Structure 1
Amino acid sequence: MTQQLSRTAYPDLPAYPERMIQFGEGNFMRAFVDWQLQQMNNKGLFQGSAVLVQPLDQGLGDMLTEQDCLYTVLLNGILDQETVNSREIITSVSRIINPYRNYEAFLALAEADDLEFITSNTTEAGIAYHPDDKRDSAPHKSFPAKLTALLLRRFELGKKGFIIIPCELIDRNGEKLREIVLRYAEEWQAGEAFITWVKEENTFCCSLVDRIVPGYPRDKAKELEQELGYLDKLMVTAEPFLFWVIEGPAEVKERLPLAQAGLNVVVTPDMTPYRERKVHLLNGPHTAMVSLGLLAGLVTVEDVMNDPAFSKFVDVQMKQELLPMLDLPEQELLQYAEAVQERFKNPFIRHELTSIYLNSISKFKTRLLPVLIRYQRERSQLPRLTVLAFAALLFGYQGGCLPRQDGPEVLAAFDQAAAKPESFLNDILSDASLWGEDLTGIPGLVEQLRADLKQLETAGSRSALQQVIGGES
């Protein structure tokens, strides 16, 4: 019988003192933050580990404890035109605390002077205010309330504050977390001295994370057990690409030497350009390709990138329409665009277009509409491929020929507009509840969309694409 991964089975693996508190024990954080700690430790730059705090009562705590918090990260994919297929046992997690079982053990983390960083990923809904969380609650329900309680204990002990870097996928995550912590501090009547300490002695950083982490390789678990020579119930697969932008002071770079370890991490006083780069150059092409691809019978992102016409669409749209609208150095953007396309081609990641199609209206509004508007304003012409992608989106939502998955109010707006085909386009584009503004005022947009919709209806997606961009059939 194969032996389970543990420190008993592998007694020579290194252990490190605790320097980070991490809220969240899921696949992403273990393959992203803890993997990066491992890389710093490998180079002798950090010499520290993370103690994990389980954000929900039910989690992976028992499984992690069973394996002495060891697990394997499997990197599969293509990076810099090289195939990566690596396996590494991660030793940068020390232990896990379940505050629902032992809240005092959680609060006791405030006593450790060596703990200087706090990271988190408690899902997009994790950074939220819950009115039921009172000062004497034990445990507190929300992550921000738990953090406030921990900071209050730290303050009462007269100790230094933390560098706090949330990884939740919401805009300005650090600012929102700080705002809720201060709200609890006020409501709990923790005192002005504590509020001042939170503001002045703790650094709340906004951050942007980027790595695709499919998670536990269930379909290959038995095969990997034979290959690795041990049983690992917590192994996690991830793409080799990684990017982390941390908005904060320069001391963050010095105290957390991620870039020095060769990791793709940027510490900057303003993360806005990097957020726009990811939203428009990674998420934008996903949204642009999805309706056109589904209408052409394609299934995955890899299918899109292996199709000559569609891969040309992605490349040209990124480099001629999206990239020029971003305020970062051109060479840096070109390198990022090439890396994104390489990731899209990753044969180890099955990314289905139907999953990207979910909530496509709000995605288009965030990812592509700002580029369309800026492009027209600055160049007095429409970004042709982005408009075609918009037409395909409207076509799929209008006729229900694609599996729409969106909010009921969005679907109701489209169904109501589709009931009057002659005015559909004007009605849907003028609905500010969908787009944030009336789009009928954008010069030439209604006319071009009308022509593209007719082409999609009469000739199909592939023909419409080839008419605009050319390419092989």
Structure 2
Amino acid sequence: MSRRLNEASLSHLPANVAVPSYDRRGVRPGIVHLGIGAFHRAHQAVYTDDVLALDPGWGIVAASLRSPDTQDALEPQNGLYTVSIRSEAGEKLRVIGSISRVILAPQEPDALLAALIDPHVRIVTLTVTEKGYCHDPATGKLDETHPDIVHDLGHWQNPRSAPGLIVEALRRRRVAGTPPFTVLTCDNLPSNGRTVHRILTRYASLVDPDLGSFVADEVACPSTMVDRIVPATTDEDRARIEKTIGFRDAWPVVTEPFTQWVIEDRFPQGRPAWEKAGAEFVSDVEPYEQMKLRLLNGSHSTLAYLGFLAGYETVSDAMAAPAFERLLVELMDRDVTPTLHMPRGADLARYKKALIERFKNPALKHRTGQIAMDGSQKLPQRLLGTIRDRLRDSAPIGRLALGVAAWMRYVTGIDERGAPIDVRDPMAARLRALADDARGSPERLAEKLFGVREIFGDDLPKDPRFTQAVTRALVQLYRDGARRTVAEFPSE
């Protein structure tokens, strides 16, 4: 068995593998990150790695809120891991050193809270996915019936949810006279900073009204927009990287050359000089956030559900079919772009062109099934917001409705060939029960799923323009299949 990547191996890596340009022994944690996964390690941790040579006071302590897998992979490697940047031009490898420690929250809750209340920690970042905020995606408010929130409100000093952990840490810092850290969400939530601030304030007020007022008045939650495609790492990726670097990396991450981070510049306790690594600091993130959520994420989800149903394993496989590329180009140009209001100088045409090229990148092998996960949490911000805006303007919604219909077909748990689909979604059991009750009727299936208020709210199910468009598309998917439906879908 080959040797493991770790601190001692850095000086023995091939010359074409980039390594940290700073002395890791001098790095001090200034950031705690909740929800360490592939995206954080390919995005925020890389930006931070780029600037630690300028200021070593911004190292990262990362926490996994559920699974021990990342801790098990990175702890023997001293937090080091490889980033593989892949394109048709080839592969570039780089070892990232900004993460000094990984804490497994369920087993080490005291260690995580100790890290969160450390006075030197001034920023808490999050990539816990949409479902990690224990909120109602249709309203953006705290879901006070969520099992984790119910648990935390009964055991607020020993929380397990992200909102519970953050608020308990803020409470302890307040008691100790330590200024509150800035909470920086990097997840795809509408108006994500304001949404997280609202969730935290409500949770804190349920613990103690005075604490709620403190969070509302004193805790900064800047909005952000993050953008980088990060497929799941495969055993093939591990083997290829090990062969190149000469050491075994238990969990490298694979990504694309493109990366973007737009951040509202509001950090009362200071921040790293991420702009030196290419981050953009702006006064208003929302236009960029809408651009990314609707153009990239909305298109990605539409392609994922339709592509999966059509039998395409990866995004690039689906994009190789001319009808799928045409559908996405028209979705972006005709349906999404009219709903966006970008600041002067933003080049939407260039962004959309880049998206198509990124989706077609065959080196990434981004699986449609991976993008399809957690659709109940993603649909409201990725597609339904655009649909609401289009309906308000009395504009067509056919392609958007097709994306929603494809999700409905997908969550039945049975594909077009009668094989089971591994639907990974916090509502999977409920959605499957509704699908089973529909007994194969697309009309009944649509009607039952429209009743899931947490997804569709109270307004859309009452609007026949929406319900009829989605039902028509769903009937066509059942009758003709995804490939033929996409090929024959009319250009409006």
The alignment's TM-score, normalised by the length of structure 2, stands at 0.73
Q: Does 1:5 align with 2:2?
A: no
Q: Distance in 1 between matches of 2:309 and 2:31?
A: 47
Question: Aligned match of 1:234 in 238, 247, 251?
Answer: 251
Deviation at 1:142, TM superposition (A): 2.6
Q: Tell whether 2:116 aligns with 1:92.
A: no
Unaligned runs of 5+ in 1: 419-423
State the SS of the aligned residue for 1:96: strand
Matched, 1:281 2:295: yes
Of 58, 62, 67, which residue of structure 1 is paired with 2:77? 67
Does residue 249 (structure 1) correspond to residue 266 (structure 2)? The answer is yes
Where does residue 261 of structure 1 map in the other structure? 277
| Contact 2:5–2:80 (8 Å) recurs in 1 | yes
Range with greater deviation from structure 2 (428-437 or 6-15): 428-437
Q: Trace 1:378-417 onto structure 2 (pairs within 5 A).
A: 378=393, 382=396, 385-386=399-400, 401=416, 407-408=431-432, 410-411=434-435, 415=439
Contact 2:230 2:366 in 1 (8 A): no
Which of residues 24, 40, 52 in structure 2 aligns to 1:41?
Answer: 52
Deviations 1:176-221 (Å, cap 9, x if unpaired)? Answer: 55455445655555x83x5554344431234443323234442232
State the Cα distance separating 1:109 from its structure 2 match: 3.3
Select the residue among 134, 159, 162 that pairs with 2:178: 159
- 8 Å CA contact 2:446–2:474 kept in 1: the answer is no
The reply to whether residue 324 of structure 1 matches residue 324 of structure 2 is no
CA gap of 1:260–1:313, structure 2 versus 1, over 3 A, is: same
Instruction: Go from structure 1 to structure 2 and tell me whether the alpha carbon gap of 1:464 and 1:64 turns closer, same or farther (over 3 Å shift).
Output: closer
Name the counterpart of 2:30.
Answer: 19
Kept in 2: contact 1:211–1:241 (CA 8 A): yes
Separation in 2, partners of 1:306, 1:298: 10
Residue of 141, 162, 168 corresponding to 2:160? 141
What is the RMSD computed on CA atoms of the aligned residues?
4.4
Q: CA deviation at 1:117?
A: 0.9
Aligned-pair CA distance for 1:410 = 4.7
Query: Aligned partners of 1:145, 1:49: CA distance in 2, in Å?
Result: 24
Q: Given residue 120 of structure 1, which amino acid in structure 2 is its aligned partner?
A: L
Question: Which ranges of 4 or more aligned residues in structure 1 deviate by more than 6 Å?
Answer: 134-138, 358-365, 387-400, 447-456
Give the letter for the 1:262 counterpart: G
Structure 2 vs 1, CA of residues 387 and 115 (structure 1 numbering), >3 Å: closer, same or farther? Answer: closer
Change (3 A) 1:277 1:130: same
The alpha carbon displacement at 1:459 in A equals 11
* Equivalent residue, structure 1, for 2:451: 433
The SS at the match of 2:362 is coil
- SS of 2:297's equivalent in the other structure is helix
What whole-Å deviation, never above 9, does each CA across 1:287-339 have from its counterpart, x for those lacking one? 44456656766543212322334323322332233212222258532222122
1:121 deviates by 2.7
**CA separation of 1:319 and 1:402: change in aligned 2, threshold 3 A:** farther
Q: What is the rounded CA distance, in whole Å, between the counterparts of 1:158 and 1:40 in structure 2?
A: 29
**Which secondary structure state, in structure 2, belongs to the residue aligned with residue 132 of structure 1?**
helix
Q: Say if 2:133 is the partner of 1:109.
A: no
SS in 2 for 1:346: coil
Q: Secondary structure at the match of 1:328?
A: coil
Farther-moved stretch of structure 1 (384-393 vs 122-131): 384-393
Cα separation, 1, equivalents of 2:79 and 2:99: 6
CA contact (8 A) 1:69 1:95 kept: yes
SS of 2:355's partner is: helix
Are the structure 2 counterparts of residues 414 and 368 from structure 1 closer, same or farther at C-alpha, using a change threshold of 3 Å?
farther
The 1:314–1:231 alpha-carbon spacing in structure 2 relative to 1, beyond 3 Å, is same
Specify which of 15, 37, 40 is matched with residue 29 of structure 1: 40
Please show how residues 281-360 of structure 1 align to structure 2 within 5 Å.
281-289=295-303, 293=307, 298-329=312-343, 331-353=346-368
- For 1:125 and 1:394, the matched residues in 2 are separated by 19
Equivalent in the alignment of 1:465: 487
Deviations 1:68-89 (A, max 9, x none): 22221112236xxxx4622111
Paired letter, 1:153: R
Q: State the distance in 2 between where 1:127 and 1:362 align.
A: 10
Find the partner of 2:239 among 209, 213, 222. 222
Contact in 2 for aligned 1:135/1:188 (Cα 8 Å): no
Assess, with a 3 A threshold, how the Cα gap between structure 1 residues 155 and 342 changes in structure 2: closer, same or farther. same
Distance 1:124 1:325, change over 3 A: closer
Alignment-derived partner of residue 14 in structure 2: none
Paired position in structure 2 for 1:421: none
CA distance in structure 1 between the partners assigned to 2:177 and 2:229 by the alignment? 40
Q: CA deviation at 1:92?
A: 1.0
SS at match of 1:114: coil
Q: Aligned AA for 1:69?
A: G
> Are the counterparts in 2 of residues 103 and 138 from structure 1 also a CA contact under 8 Å?
no
Query: For the Cα contact (< 8 Å) 1:373–1:442, is it kept in 2?
Result: no
Q: Give the Cα separation in 2 of the matches to 1:35 and 1:412.
A: 45
- Residue 16 of structure 2 corresponds to none
**Residues 87-129 of structure 1: CA deviation (Å, up to 9, x unaligned):** 1111112223445555554444366443211112334443335
CA drift at 1:416? 7.4
Distance 2:449 2:333 in 1: 30
Query: Do the aligned residues in 1 keep the contact of 2:126 with 2:185 (CA within 8 Å)?
Result: yes
* Residue of structure 2 aligned with 1:203, choices 208, 211, 220: 220
Residue type at the aligned position of 1:333: L
Specify which of 116, 123, 130 is matched with residue 149 of structure 2.
130
List per-residue Cα deviations over 1:219-265 (Å, max 9, x = no partner).
2323322310222223222223223344463769x7333233223x4
- TM-score (normalizing by structure 1): 0.76
Between 1:403-412 and 1:91-100, the stretch displaced more is 403-412
One-letter amino acid of the counterpart of residue 71, structure 2: G
